Structure 1
Amino acid sequence: MISKYYAPILSPNQCGSSLIQTIDAPLPLVWSIIRQFDNPQAYKQFVKSCEILSGNGRGIGSVRELKIISGLAAKRSAERLDNLDDESYVMMVSIIGGDHKLENYKSTISLHEIAGDEEKGRKTAVIESSLATVTEKMASAR
């Protein structure tokens, strides 16, 4: 699964990143929070609010508009749910609008169970990767 979602071949005008976090909670509990496309502020601290613009907020193709906490590079972001796989614990989102400098931005989040001992309980690894096209707008913002 790692190579399927997290080993993209980047073109010269693309950039990407990955973040791995370990959470001291069982995978089903973590997934029940992460999979809420209509409530990202439950786990993303930079989100002030979320409004569903189309779809039901839980199905592929749903679109949301996020209001971003002040002090960041953008105030709002429009995002589309591209994939939500409850069997593989994968969610894929694309940014389709907003007042930021990101173009062709795609994010993938996947969850993976980590075996723990009986005393500490089960843990979950959360991997979030992103990919975007580097444009003149982005380069001039540096």
Structure 2
Amino acid sequence: MNGGDAYSVMEAQYIRRHHRHEPRENQCTSALVKHIRAPVHLNYSSIMTVHPETIEGRPGTLVIESFVVDVPEGNTMDETCYFVQALIRCNLKSLADVSERMAVQDRTEPINPF
């Protein structure tokens, strides 16, 4: 883990157990930690998957993220979903921007159909 983050023993154990990465020489990795004064069953749950696909004849990636979040008192389901979707959409756009910039530099070759 890089980035100068100092983790407690408990945090380090969870990170080692659930957030294993093997970065190559030109990669970095980090884990962000936030302590929330509320029990686990209230917080937020998401699943992110990545799937290979072909986009305009070139290798691409389909990213799907789904979530479950409690609706805070005073908010509607629509408002809550809209807010969380906006956050995830922003994160996915950033992921796409960085990844596509790297792919252009790497100049991914078109896939030849057989």
TM-score class normalised by the smaller sequence: 0.3 to 0.5
Higher relative helix content = 2
Q: Which has the higher strand share?
A: 1
TM-score between the two structures when normalised by the length of structure 2: 0.35
Larger radius of gyration: 2
